[in-house]
Chains A and B, each alone.
Chain A
Amino acid sequence: MERIYIDNDMARFTRRDLTLVDMDLYDGRHFERLEPRRLFPITGTQKYITLLDEEGEEVAVIRDLTTLPAEDRRIIEECLDEYYHIPKIIKIKSCEERFGVTKFYCVTDRGECTIEVNNIIHQIKLTHGIRVLFRDNDDNRYEVPDIRRLDSKSRSILDDYL
């Protein structure tokens, strides 16, 4: 079966639940309880958003979120925000290493949190030279979208681990 790619105003979306939408395609087809998920959650957050039904089967793929009408884009983005909990680190207040665990006390866009990392080599990754991805000991994810935007103290703390 050919994959349905959604561009521009090919579809209308209605918010159904925390992470679910209903979709009406331009040809009259109607799909319910679809979950938008990123096909490239790390490298491309706005492009190639797959829409999965309750069975986990793909119904369609949004090629580029930015081409959707504003209201549809907002609905999809809200669902993605609910699904992907990747707090953006705004500030690193302090850092301590004890008993082999490195703790980063951070302020994120979702509130304050402590990131515990056992293995700084594998759990903190720098990508594209400016973006830092954290994976804590419980597999929670965090990110610094652009280290250049951090204040100098946060940057200096983080720089030691990159």
Chain B
Amino acid sequence: MDNNIADMQYLCNRTLSQERRGIIESIPQSGENILFVVAADLNLKSRYAEAFFIATNVAVYSVELEDDSESKNTSKNKRKNKDTSNGVSIKSSSRIPYSKVEKCKVKRNYGNAVLVINDTDGRYINFIRFSYKVASLFDAAANFVENVGVKKHGTIDEEMAIMEVAFERQFSFCPKCGRSLIHPGANCIYCQSKNKLIKKIGKYILPHKYVLIFCLLLSVATTAMAMIPPYMTGKLVDDVLPNRDLKQLRIVVAVLFASYLLQQVIGAFRTYMLRVVGDKVVSDLRADVYRHAQYLPMKFYDRTSTGSVINRISGDSANLQGFMLRITQEVVVQFFTMIGIIVIMLSMNWQLTLLSLIPVPFVVYGARVFGRKIRPFYRKIWRRWSAVTSILTDSLPGIRVIKSFANERRSTEEFEYYTDEWLKTDIKSARITIAFPHIVSFIITCGSLVIWGIGGRLVIEKPEFITAGLLVTFISYTSMFYGPVNFFANLNDSYQSSLAAAERILDIIDAEPESNNGAGNKLDVIQGKIEFRNVSFSYDRSKKTLSNINFVIEPGEIVGIVGTTGSGKSTIINLLMRFYDGYDGTILVDDVDIRDIDMEYYRGQIGYVQQEPMMFHDTIYNNIAYGVPDAHVEQVIHAADVANAHEFIARMPDAYDTILGERGTGLSGGERQRLSIARAVLKNPSILFFDEATASVDSETEELIQSAIERLIRGRTTIMIAHRLSTLRKANKIIVVDKGEIIEMGTPEELLAKKGKYWRLIQIQQMSEQVRKSKEEENFE
């Protein structure tokens, strides 16, 4: 925790300057002790401001400060409070003692929230406003005020222990990058490593370092050989041809032949080796990105399209691999080539050498300007391309829907729109990317012209100073010299493109995986007791999906969760499955916090049957054995039998070897559901979750699924979410959820006798069930 915070006698979510501490500590009435302070970032008028929520042992305060220098500028006569301290003063403040609080809650608006207090005089007070940045702390503060002031649940010390956890959670995130820390107060492992791109991607190259060094040596050899021809050409012009020396000619031609042959042979071998290394690097990189993608929390996928992830795994990793090889090979080779040529040229004629260097500053400057211009384009191109692939991944699997609504044209037009957007951006960037190398080439050519002009004149006027052969050799070296210059000038282009690719790949690799704090912690056997203690959760902080959920399910109990759509039923399952970990409160299985249990082990103990079971493009057998790949054949058949699936599988021509289409096409909804139940049977879990398992099937299929479910749930703790309350006929406890809160809980008989929400739902369902059955009978007749 922050040192300054540790120095203070009370908790605070930000470092306070002495002057602010002075003001805050002067506010409570005498005899009151400050327990905690939450710094808010908005005032009640929804403007950014410095405001504080102060909780003492007697009352709560809200205080807005203003910067005197600003207020002098804006409203000289508006000074209300003389309680100033070094440039900051109190603009407004209010106090409510706990004894006057009747209700305290956080009302979430859009992008902001307000802590609202209902007092005993019947007033509804908007106490303090804040952005979502501090909303979770205010949630805890509202609970504190309610528990201390209204419910009088526990002592202030007990409630402060909860507040301390809330403050610690605030510091469980790195203040620099926002990632979760290993434990509260720990150093951020990402920020320590400074995110150095090369460092991070270098690890993929390191295993191949010996091959790469060998390739480097080979390329040094070929580069050295490339230096021979210009020298030999000069010799030809100056010595061999003027002297008509045939013997020398044969030697020169042989040396040139050997040099060219070796260059090509070694070059081909080196290219092959690099290709092999390159393929290995890209395959490692892809595997790593895919592996990371598997362990990313559901929250990542809630916000990222699968098309964009696919794009990163396929395109970006190849782009990055190309760049890594350029860095490790070409940069080194080109650098030494450039130095080698400069040394040779200087030894031949330093004046001409200096002349040939004239274009270099222009090229380097151009490369910098080019880099700045082109980088945003690469981001834009990627964004546009990502939109195109997202449409592909969205629309092609839904081709049936597109056809059934005769929407082929609209779908095509949409695709064309995004392709067009990509095209426009790509053409814009092409103007720069294509123009730049040509400009560089032109500048280089101009440099050669200068040497031809000045060098040629010297050959004509002062042949004793420079020979024709030397000029030819020099021009050859000059053109060779601009190879590396050109390379480095253009390197920025691929560097920028790769930087954008690296950003996107590291977005996955660096993304915080699902936390597995309990790694290795496996319970001997899971009995199946489930407990929710004060669990609250929101998907995106804008709206609370679950509020203060409390229930206990004993081992072997069958519990139905009912409620209207959007009431939070599936969220309860999502939290139990540990798809989302960022909730308040505790979820316990067999009295152990599920966050402290090994993730893989924990999920391995749970059978989860969804409303829309996901099937893979594989055989029926492999789909059933998905969770237990080494299951015996007869176990798989038995599982299918229990799930009432064996009969329909056996009737299929390829039976268990039938390959399902993508997402299980080729099977009816009820058949897919029975396969997913067979999967769960095979897994033999201790706990079972059914999420609307019979929601989209007819009555007859429902009976088949229902009897399969009943066979499966015997002796296991089962939570069933069901719209059709008939599905819950075996349930011995019902939890009714509404707007994220539990409104009723008890046995079905108790709830029916209560004549509350459950009873009303039953009445409605019985009527609609009668209508449905009579319609089905009508259709049958």
A contacts, CB < 8 Å to B: 17-19, 41, 56, 81-87, 98-101, 108, 110-113, 116, 118-122, 137-141, 159-162
Q: In the assembled complex, which residues on chain A have CB atoms less than 8 Å from the CB atom of B188?
A: 99
Q: In the assembled complex, which residues on chain B have CB atoms less than 8 Å from the CB atom of A113?
A: 41, 48
Would you call the interface of chain A mostly helix, strand, loop, or mixed?
A: loop
| Chain B contacts with A in 40-67, Cβ cutoff 8 A | 41-42, 44, 46-49
- Asked whether B376 lies within 8 Å of A108 as measured between CB atoms, the reply is no
- Asked whether B304 lies within 8 Å of A122 as measured between CB atoms, the reply is yes
- Asked whether A139 lies within 8 Å of B739 as measured between CB atoms, the reply is no
- Asked whether A82 lies within 8 Å of B195 as measured between CB atoms, the reply is no
Q: In the assembled complex, which residues on chain A have CB atoms less than 8 Å from the CB atom of B20?
A: none
Q: Tell me the minimal C-beta distance from A40 to chain B in angstroms.
A: 13
Q: Tell me the minimal C-beta distance from A73 to chain B in angstroms.
A: 19
Smallest CB gap from B376: residue in A: A160
Q: In the assembled complex, which residues on chain B have CB atoms less than 8 Å from the CB atom of A161?
A: 376, 379
B132 CB-CB contact with A under 8 Å: yes
Which of B44, B47, B114 interacts with A111 by CB under 8 Å?
B47
Q: Tell me the minimal C-beta distance from A35 to chain B in angstroms.
A: 9
| Chain B contacts with A in 350-385, Cβ cutoff 8 A | 375-376, 379-380, 382-383
Smallest CB gap from A109: residue in B: B47
State which of B104-112, B238-246, B620-628 sits at the interface with chain A. B104-112
> A112 vs B49: C-alpha distance in the bound complex, in angstroms?
9
- Asked whether A138 lies within 8 Å of B133 as measured between CB atoms, the reply is yes
Which of B47, B133, B380, B504 interacts with A140 by CB under 8 Å?
B133
B194 CB-CB contact with A under 8 Å: yes
- Asked whether B195 lies within 8 Å of A139 as measured between CB atoms, the reply is no
Q: In the assembled complex, which residues on chain B have CB atoms less than 8 Å from the CB atom of A108?
A: 48
Q: Tell me the minimal C-beta distance from A161 to chain B in angstroms.
A: 7
| Chain B contacts with A in 131-161, Cβ cutoff 8 A | 131-133, 135
Q: Tell me the minimal C-beta distance from B588 to chain A in angstroms.
A: 29
- Asked whether A101 lies within 8 Å of B46 as measured between CB atoms, the reply is no
B541 CB-CB contact with A under 8 Å: yes
* Also in contact, A99 and B507, with CB within 8 A (given A41-B110, A110-B48, A118-B177): no
- Asked whether B109 lies within 8 Å of A82 as measured between CB atoms, the reply is yes
B178 CB-CB contact with A under 8 Å: yes
- Asked whether A85 lies within 8 Å of B114 as measured between CB atoms, the reply is no
B264 CB-CB contact with A under 8 Å: no
- Asked whether B48 lies within 8 Å of A19 as measured between CB atoms, the reply is no
- Asked whether A17 lies within 8 Å of B542 as measured between CB atoms, the reply is no
B82 CB-CB contact with A under 8 Å: no
* Also in contact, A85 and B131, with CB within 8 A (given A18-B114, A108-B48, A111-B49): yes
- Asked whether B47 lies within 8 Å of A110 as measured between CB atoms, the reply is yes
- Asked whether B48 lies within 8 Å of A111 as measured between CB atoms, the reply is yes
- Asked whether B42 lies within 8 Å of A85 as measured between CB atoms, the reply is yes
- Asked whether B109 lies within 8 Å of A121 as measured between CB atoms, the reply is no
| Chain B contacts with A in 552-596, Cβ cutoff 8 A | none
A-B contact pairs, 12 of them (CB 8 A): A56-B739, A84-B109, A100-B195, A100-B510, A101-B176, A113-B41, A119-B303, A120-B379, A121-B386, A122-B303, A122-B304, A139-B111
Smallest CB gap from A18: residue in B: B126
Q: Tell me the minimal C-beta distance from B490 to chain A in angstroms.
A: 21
Q: In the assembled complex, which residues on chain B have CB atoms less than 8 Å from the CB atom of A121?
A: 308, 379, 382-383, 386, 504, 507
Which of B111, B303, B540 interacts with A85 by CB under 8 Å?
B111
CB within 8 Å: A-B pair count: 95
- Asked whether B46 lies within 8 Å of A99 as measured between CB atoms, the reply is no
B506 CB-CB contact with A under 8 Å: yes
* Also in contact, A99 and B110, with CB within 8 A (given A85-B46, A138-B132, A139-B132): no
Q: In the assembled complex, which residues on chain A have CB atoms less than 8 Å from the CB atom of B376?
A: 159-162
Q: Tell me the minimal C-beta distance from B295 to chain A in angstroms.
A: 18
Q: In the assembled complex, which residues on chain B have CB atoms less than 8 Å from the CB atom of A112?
A: 48
> A85 vs B133: C-alpha distance in the bound complex, in angstroms?
13
Smallest CB gap from B108: residue in A: A83
Q: In the assembled complex, which residues on chain A have CB atoms less than 8 Å from the CB atom of B178?
A: 101, 116, 118, 137
> A85 vs B541: C-alpha distance in the bound complex, in angstroms?
14
- Asked whether B109 lies within 8 Å of A83 as measured between CB atoms, the reply is yes
Mask of B99-129 contacts with A, CB within 8 angstroms, 1/0: 0000000010111101000000000101000
B191 CB-CB contact with A under 8 Å: yes
- Asked whether B46 lies within 8 Å of A162 as measured between CB atoms, the reply is no
Q: In the assembled complex, which residues on chain A have CB atoms less than 8 Å from the CB atom of B507?
A: 119, 121
> A99 vs B175: C-alpha distance in the bound complex, in angstroms?
11
- Asked whether B541 lies within 8 Å of A138 as measured between CB atoms, the reply is yes
| B-side interface size class | 35 or more
B601 CB-CB contact with A under 8 Å: no
- Asked whether A138 lies within 8 Å of B131 as measured between CB atoms, the reply is yes
Q: In the assembled complex, which residues on chain B have CB atoms less than 8 Å from the CB atom of A111?
A: 47-49
Smallest CB gap from A141: residue in B: B111
Q: Tell me the minimal C-beta distance from B750 to chain A in angstroms.
A: 25
- Asked whether B110 lies within 8 Å of A84 as measured between CB atoms, the reply is yes
* Also in contact, A84 and B111, with CB within 8 A (given A99-B190, A116-B178, A139-B541): yes
Mask of B368-412 contacts with A, CB within 8 angstroms, 1/0: 000000011001101100100000000000000000000000000
Smallest CB gap from B303: residue in A: A122
Mask of B176-194 contacts with A, CB within 8 angstroms, 1/0: 1110000000001011001
Q: In the assembled complex, which residues on chain B have CB atoms less than 8 Å from the CB atom of A122?
A: 303-304
> A82 vs B542: C-alpha distance in the bound complex, in angstroms?
15
| Chain B contacts with A in 521-571, Cβ cutoff 8 A | 540-542
Q: Tell me the minimal C-beta distance from B630 to chain A in angstroms.
A: 39
Q: In the assembled complex, which residues on chain A have CB atoms less than 8 Å from the CB atom of B133?
A: 138, 140
Q: In the assembled complex, which residues on chain A have CB atoms less than 8 Å from the CB atom of B48?
A: 87, 108, 110-113
- Asked whether B191 lies within 8 Å of A99 as measured between CB atoms, the reply is yes
Q: In the assembled complex, which residues on chain B have CB atoms less than 8 Å from the CB atom of A98?
A: 176
> A18 vs B194: C-alpha distance in the bound complex, in angstroms?
45
- Asked whether A110 lies within 8 Å of B46 as measured between CB atoms, the reply is yes
Starting from the known contacts A110-B42, A121-B379, 5 additional A-B residue pairs (CB-CB under 8 Å) come to A100-B195, A100-B506, A112-B48, A113-B48, A119-B507
Smallest CB gap from A17: residue in B: B124
Q: Tell me the minimal C-beta distance from B282 to chain A in angstroms.
A: 22
Most buried by B among A85, A113, A160, A161: A85
- Asked whether B542 lies within 8 Å of A139 as measured between CB atoms, the reply is yes
- Asked whether B46 lies within 8 Å of A100 as measured between CB atoms, the reply is no
* Also in contact, A85 and B109, with CB within 8 A (given A100-B506, A101-B176, A139-B541): yes
Most buried by B among A99, A111, A113, A162: A99
Q: Tell me the minimal C-beta distance from B582 to chain A in angstroms.
A: 12
Q: In the assembled complex, which residues on chain B have CB atoms less than 8 Å from the CB atom of A86?
A: 110-111
Q: Tell me the minimal C-beta distance from A126 to chain B in angstroms.
A: 9
Q: Tell me the minimal C-beta distance from B248 to chain A in angstroms.
A: 61
Q: Tell me the minimal C-beta distance from A143 to chain B in angstroms.
A: 10
* Also in contact, A100 and B177, with CB within 8 A (given A110-B47, A139-B542): yes
> A121 vs B46: C-alpha distance in the bound complex, in angstroms?
28
Q: In the assembled complex, which residues on chain A have CB atoms less than 8 Å from the CB atom of B132?
A: 138-140
Q: In the assembled complex, which residues on chain A have CB atoms less than 8 Å from the CB atom of B382?
A: 121
> A98 vs B188: C-alpha distance in the bound complex, in angstroms?
13
> A112 vs B109: C-alpha distance in the bound complex, in angstroms?
21
Q: In the assembled complex, which residues on chain B have CB atoms less than 8 Å from the CB atom of A19?
A: 107, 109
Q: Tell me the minimal C-beta distance from A77 to chain B in angstroms.
A: 13
Q: Across chains A and B, which 6 residue pairs bring their CB atoms closest together, nearest first?
A: A111-B48, A85-B112, A85-B111, A160-B376, A99-B177, A84-B110
- Asked whether A17 lies within 8 Å of B126 as measured between CB atoms, the reply is yes
Smallest CB gap from B136: residue in A: A138
> A112 vs B67: C-alpha distance in the bound complex, in angstroms?
13
Which of B44, B110, B131, B194 interacts with A83 by CB under 8 Å?
B110
Q: In the assembled complex, which residues on chain B have CB atoms less than 8 Å from the CB atom of A18?
A: 44, 114, 126
> A159 vs B506: C-alpha distance in the bound complex, in angstroms?
22
Smallest CB gap from B174: residue in A: A99
Q: Tell me the minimal C-beta distance from A60 to chain B in angstroms.
A: 20
Q: In the assembled complex, which residues on chain A have CB atoms less than 8 Å from the CB atom of B111?
A: 84-86, 139-141
Q: Tell me the minimal C-beta distance from A33 to chain B in angstroms.
A: 9
Most buried by A among B112, B126, B375: B112
